[in-house]
Structure 1
């Protein structure tokens, strides 16, 4: 049976960090455990001194909490120059993109306030919207929609008649609803709680799917508001990609007509932005990523954006650049190949067939198949009295590769100490993953990392952040440590 994800949705925190953390801790103990917290609206307020103890480690956020970007210019400074980890367990998702959690829930997000002109630190424009719409379709012929769409602004026309008039609404969010077909849309900023009865967004020519799944909208109030309107909402759901078709199309008793007229909406949006009514096809995998940027950013300059061309990826099977003669075998979701310029004989690579940035973004099916490959290789190396080391470097690489390096079994006694000592020499620290922890729980999304699984299945890892200059030839360095002449 597919494991359901449990997520807490939170409205505008506006600096009430202690109130948020206390409530989340109580709810998590009472009805959890929950996987994560998603915050919409303003995470920061006017006075954010209460956040300092969390940044200093004096207080701790109880659950991994993902927040949207700033909605005002005076909040930009709180985001620490676009660093994704603001403090332990608080992560800035970024301007726009799609985050897939460990259980396969796909969360689309867009941060800030809509602008008809430029895309800035606290604004987004229609180009951001178009790229977000195109993102889930890349390499995904079976697109069904996304599980959750989070934004600070509400979709325009989402409020039913005879209800209040929303102030922070915009047609761009409505457009995202029509194109991404989310099961849940969650927004903030209005300061009130509002739950609209479900509706279905009709299929469009360019939506990528003929399914018309149910969409539900939640507008959440401010944390600790005096009217005690709901600002924390518990959600338990099976990831959309793991649901049966019959479950997705099943009718509900309280459905209402779709509040959006897509033809009118598209005509209005496109005419406002002076563009043609056809979506261009793009083939780079991620949006505005900071993970593998090899460009030095000087003070005062804007970060350049790299458009990833999947046809030029050395590790995509369909790419003309792919060297097929290195392939050993191809599975359902992964393939095994020889490493080009391997460190030792029978140095192999396990890679997903589809284009994924890292193991954390891979689906459960891919991760399961990788485990099968790993077990098979352990048996394969036994014939030479060898054991494999598995390592992954999610840094300055675009396609996930799991390096498989065999070493003599007799060289494993001091292996952990060798790795730790060599990492300290290189200026970073390898941490040990606890026996009851999973890697996705300690590694935030969009943070570059290096991880290694030793023959005893102990995992060591490090986050590669800020000014850390991680050595790309690290494996060569520790290879010298155990292969002594």
Structure 2
């Protein structure tokens, strides 16, 4: 186990940082090293005087410290030509250099890429403190090794673009910021930890999957941390301790264990955009190729076109549900109609129903690909992503509808459906018992038998994993279950709720008859999101 520290932008505040490190070491014991992201130097003269004391040996650095290269042209002058090859700034402080992967004595692999994204600059304007597409291909070549499993740690100054997809971003974060090149780098290297700085924020993101939502492969997850600057006025966290067993020393079955709370791979949309820029006719199947045909992605002295294979075969896990083709409800899929999304939690999200019965008809959907509630229960047993906020979203929506003087019915149809959807439909207050009777009476009319279940029953005790079923849940916790054998009317749930005794909307039974324009749907989603805001646990 390697115990290390990571730090955000230092900006010359060396003594403040190292005093904090000594304090941490006194309480928690010694750490192997300190890795730093963001800007190390400052333009203020008194910080230069402070550094000189460490260079002269008047002050000592208490821990081996590794820093990145410059982020601006002004910072470059402090590196004494060490921004490319690396070198020692002062005793115990080492510049890693422009880019590379090095391995510590304990076996920890650390990848680093210094500087800022220069991919949008003309070649003549690309400076030493910029990285471009050619730098990404440098890493792609290394990842082409058939034995490559990823790296333990990745250090970059900029945040990756799209890192806040599927999660609530930190306050004051600009969603348009970040580097798409860093996103591609993270996709290639699959770091177990990725540290970045320069945004002036602290953000510990939920781990994300590196198998990009395809359940045929199992790969380890990535934990991203954006670290704040040392001595920031907001008292945001700038020093982070982490323990990690290096990849060569951990069995694959432990390396690839997926923690309970994860999200899908956040960079899928960026990779899809990149694929349009690549030369598909010459690209090997499954290979990674950063488009070098664009001059902005080349250094002036490196004009060759390169393509590298980044396919890293994983192991098939038969216990994981597999998506058969593109899924409209997997949040990582580019086809998802994101204008309908209301709220995104750790493991699930809420969206307006397309062609909903009413403007308040919503869906609770797992972010990962799960066909039914039965698979969610199985996932807990096998330590796969669990639907952690399923109950919380149910409770939040019930409280929300209650504030509007309404009750709600939640139903699930595990029949001719690819991805679990919990349909949440508000009904007039005091009509829950009417709804129960209608489901049972009209069920008998359609030769559908319903079984009344108590609240909080474990469905796996009464249903096998592959069993098709229709389940209705009411505000009092009671449920009605129909075990589907043979045919089942796909619009049955809507038919009951649209009946004259409840919503009285017989013309809205089929969702295709209720579709509205993207503009209208976007406006409805915004309106619902605003009303639901005080009930959304992700925001409170």
Normalising by the residue count of structure 2, what TM-score does the alignment of the two structures yield? 0.48
Is 1:112 paired with 2:115?
Answer: yes
1:170 paired to 2:179: yes
Structure-2 residue corresponding to 1:22: 19
Distance 2:54 2:277 in 1: 43
| Structure 1 residues 30 and 167, CA gap change in structure 2 (3 angstroms) | farther
Aligned match for 1:84, one of 87, 92, 102? 87
The aligned runs of 1:33-432 (5 Å cut-off) are 33-47=30-44, 48-49=47-48, 50-82=50-82, 84-116=87-119, 117=121, 118=123, 120-138=127-145, 141-159=146-164, 160-161=167-168, 163=170, 164-166=173-175, 168-202=177-211, 211-261=218-268, 264-269=269-274, 277=283
Taking the aligned partners of 2:76 and 2:91, their CA distance within structure 1 comes to 19
Query: What are the Cα deviations for residues 357-406 of structure 1, in whole angstroms up to 9, with x where unaligned?
Result: xxxxxxxxxxxxxxxxxxxxxxxxxxxxxxxxxxxxxxxxxxxxxxxxxx
Change (3 A) 1:127 1:267: farther
Name the SS of the counterpart of 2:181 in structure 1.
helix
Question: Do the aligned partners of 1:61 and 1:88 also contact (CA within 8 Å) in 2?
Answer: yes
Q: What CA distance in whole angstroms lies between the structure 2 residues aligned with 1:273 and 1:45?
A: 39
Cα deviation, residue 107, structure 1: 0.7
Q: CA deviation at 1:258?
A: 1.7
1:331-373 deviations in Å (ceiling 9; x for gaps): xxxxxxxxxxxxxxxxxxxxxxxxxxxxxxxxxxxxxxxxxxx
1:173 match: secondary structure: helix
What is the aligned partner in structure 1 of residue 393 from structure 2? none
Gap change, CA 1:271 and 1:115, over 3 Å in 2: farther
Query: Matches of 1:194 and 1:236 in 2, distance apart?
Result: 18
CA contact (8 A) 1:201 1:212 kept: yes
**After TM superposition, where is structure 1 displaced by more than 4 Å over at least 4 residues in a row?**
270-281
Against the structure 1 CA distance between its residues 97 and 220, is the aligned structure 2 distance closer, same or farther, given a 3 Å change threshold? Answer: same
Change (3 A) 1:9 1:166: farther
Indicate the residue corresponding to 2:428 in structure 1.
Answer: none
C-alpha distance in 1, partners of 2:279/2:13?
41
For 1:127 and 1:267, the matched residues in 2 are separated by 19
CA distance in 1, matches of 2:265, 2:272: 17
Larger Rg: 2
- Tell me the secondary structure at the aligned position of residue 77 of structure 2: helix
How far is the alpha carbon of 1:265 from its aligned partner? 2.5
Which ranges in structure 2 are unaligned for 5 or more consecutive residues?
290-299, 303-540
Instruction: Measure the CA separation in 2 of the matches of 1:143 and 1:273.
Output: 23
Where structure 1 has 5 or more consecutive residues not aligned to the other structure, the ranges are 282-301, 305-485
Distance 1:44-1:202 versus aligned 2 partners, 3 A rule: same
The answer (yes or no) to whether the contact 2:213–2:265 under 8 Å persists in 1 is no
Equivalence map 1:426-445=2 (5 Å): none
Structure 1 residue 130: deviation in Å? Answer: 1.0
Normalized per residue, which structure has more strand? 1
**Count of aligned positions:** 275
Alpha-carbon distance change, 34 to 175 in structure 1, aligned in 2, over 3 angstroms: same
Residues 162 and 25 of structure 1: CA distance in aligned 2, closer, same or farther (over 3 Å): closer
Superposition RMSD on alpha carbons, in Å? 2.8
Decide whether the 8 Å contact of 1:167 with 1:190 is kept in 2. Answer: no
